[in-house]
Amino acid sequence: MRAPRGTRLSGNRMPAESRSFQLTSLIAVLPGDGIGPEVTRAGLAVLRAAAARHSLDLRIEEAPFGGAALEALGAPLPPSTRDLCMDADAVLLGAAGLPGPPPANPALRPEQGLLDLRALLGVYANLRPIRPLPGAGEASPLREENLASVDLIVVRELTGGIYFGDKQEGEDAAADLCAYNREEIERVVRFAAKLARQRRSRLCSVDKANVLATSRLWRTATSRLVADEFPDLELQHLLVDAAAMRLLTHAADFDVLVTENMFGDILTDEASVLAGSLGMAPSASIGDGGRGLYEPIHGTAPDIAGQGVANPCGMILSVAMMLDLSLKAPQAAREVEAAVAAAVADGARTADIAGQGPAASTGQFTEAVLERLEKSKDGSA
């Protein structure tokens, strides 16, 4: 069994990847800000139901994070939250951010806590799958033929690039350094290539090699690695502006896309249109161990916070990714995905994807998923 919280073994915490023999999995839950607590409650309800069905022994502990932690403890990622996340087998995150202009001091920005958490956990590969669900695509502004057969995943490098580079900020001038080394590029491309090999063996690398030095290194490093280690893959290079266009016109042509930090952030928000709404898209951030960080890709949406209308689909599907990747329960993950798809297909849709039909509340959508998860016991979901 897991050592109690606070216990140290040989003076150090045991890395999550070394605890596969333990029966209890610790899940660190960071509800965060805005709609974060609402969608987190929905995700936890589904996680508990799936765990009960598959006899998964979970210990769930919540901790303050983001703006909530800033207001309560003076830091977006306080020491107690850091310790919990380092002890955990997986981290579930709602959202982080406060309305209004960001403070001048980066240490007082909720988003800085997110960057620090990613670096702390060493989760360099951010996986963002895009698969339109029957019914949800009706909310997309794209034509139906542009959504047919779309099943892609973006692998975004998460701990390097312009978000983590040196910064200079003043009243009249500012600078953000975008820097990558070959090792950082190769490890995320290798991750994406292994994923492509498990899917349809097509890998698209996105860069801006006609302008940026970092992108030229990205392209040469990617070409060399794929030729040396994954010669069976079909590799394509696309400039980011061309990729942005093709995501909306020929998305079904893509299998796995791999790109740097900022490009991945922007492209996946764009690609959420394919799924019908930003609220539909999940994500998983993975490093070299089994521990992962799981969160929907949407933000805090302060304009609808507390109204019970937020779409929990992205969070629930992030829970499915956690079940698959960190908790090693792929059957439970597939059941959650099927329950979400069945709920949407049967008309349980929050306001962002409801179109002209009736809109479900956050709680009503969650209950619809739980009902279909329960029905999957007899294969009827």
CATH number at residue 156: 3.40.718.10
pLDDT (0 to 100) of residue 137: 72
Among this protein's residues, is 294 annotated catalytic? no
Report the number of secondary-structure helices (H) and strands (E) in the chain.
Answer: 12, 12
Catalytic pick from 87, 89, 124, 208? 208
Beta strand 125-130 with 284-286: parallel, antiparallel or unpaired? Answer: antiparallel
- The secondary structure of residue 273, as a DSSP letter, is H
Q: Are residues 21 and 105 in the same domain?
A: yes
Q: Are residues 221 and 261 in the same domain?
A: yes
Residue whose C-alpha is closest to residue 286's, from 153, 89, 116, 127: 127
Catalytic pick from 232, 241, 288, 346? 241
Q: Are residues 292 and 380 in the same domain?
A: yes
The CA dihedral of 84, 163, 44, 284, to the nearest 10 degrees, is: -100
Q: Which of 229, 245, 275 is the last residue of a domain?
A: 275
How many Cα atoms occupy the beta-carbon half-sphere of 30 within 13 Å?
33
Q: Are residues 127 and 213 in the same domain?
A: no
Cα separation, 259 vs 175, in Å, equals: 22
How many Cα atoms occupy the beta-carbon half-sphere of 351 within 13 Å?
7
pLDDT (0 to 100) of residue 355: 84
Residue 87: CB partners within 8 Å, gap ≥ 6?
5, 13, 16, 26, 28
Catalytic pick from 89, 255, 265, 352? 265
**What amino acid is encoded at 332 in this protein?**
A
pLDDT (0 to 100) of residue 17: 45
Helix or strand or coil: residue 341?
Answer: helix
pLDDT (0 to 100) of residue 290: 78
In a domain, 172, yes or no: no
Range of the domain at 106: 1-134+278-381
Helix or strand or coil: residue 157?
Answer: strand
Q: Are residues 86 and 123 in the same domain?
A: yes
Task: Decide: 258 and 188 in contact? Cβ < 8 Å.
Answer: yes
Residue 324: CB partners within 8 Å, gap ≥ 6?
330, 333
Alpha helices (runs of H) in 250-361, residue ranges in sequence order: 261-275, 313-325, 330-345, 351-354
Q: Are residues 26 and 114 in the same domain?
A: yes
Catalytic pick from 33, 87, 163, 294? 163
Q: Are residues 269 and 348 in the same domain?
A: no
In a domain, 171, yes or no: no
Alpha helices (runs of H) in 3-103, residue ranges in sequence order: 36-53, 67-73, 79-87
Residue whose C-alpha is closest to residue 305's, from 9, 68, 8, 10: 68
Among this protein's residues, is 163 annotated catalytic? yes
Cα separation, 272 vs 187, in Å, equals: 26
Q: Which of 236, 252, 275 is the last residue of a domain?
A: 275
Q: Are residues 112 and 91 in the same domain?
A: yes
**313-325 and 330-345 are packed helices; what angle lies between their axes, rounded to 10 degrees?**
160
pLDDT (0 to 100) of residue 13: 39
Q: Are residues 255 and 329 in the same domain?
A: no
pLDDT (0 to 100) of residue 2: 41
Among this protein's residues, is 328 annotated catalytic? no
How many domains would you assign to the chain?
A: 2
pLDDT (0 to 100) of residue 289: 82
pLDDT (0 to 100) of residue 51: 97
For 248, the token pair is 């909306």
The CA dihedral of 349, 353, 359, 361, to the nearest 10 degrees, is: 60
Cα separation, 291 vs 49, in Å, equals: 21
Sheet holding 57-62, edge to edge: 57-62, 24-32, 90-95, 292-294, 284-286, 125-130, 152-157, 256-259, 202-207, 234-239
Among this protein's residues, is 269 annotated catalytic? yes
**What amino acid is encoded at 193 in this protein?**
A
In a domain, 292, yes or no: yes
Q: Which of 240, 275, 310 is the last residue of a domain?
A: 275
pLDDT (0 to 100) of residue 7: 27
Q: Are residues 255 and 283 in the same domain?
A: no
Among this protein's residues, is 265 annotated catalytic? yes
pTM of the model: 0.90
Please state the length of the chain. 381
- The secondary structure of residue 233, as a DSSP letter, is S
Per-residue pLDDT of the chain (381 residues; tens, 9 = 90+): 343 333 222 233 344 444 444 479 999 999 999 999 999 999 999 999 999 999 999 999 999 999 999 999 999 999 999 999 999 999 999 999 988 888 888 888 999 999 999 999 999 999 999 999 888 777 788 887 778 899 999 999 999 999 999 999 898 999 999 999 999 999 999 999 999 999 999 999 999 999 999 999 999 999 999 999 999 999 999 999 999 999 999 999 999 999 999 999 999 999 998 998 999 999 999 999 878 999 999 999 999 999 999 999 999 999 999 999 999 999 999 999 999 999 999 999 999 999 888 999 999 999 999 999 998 765 444
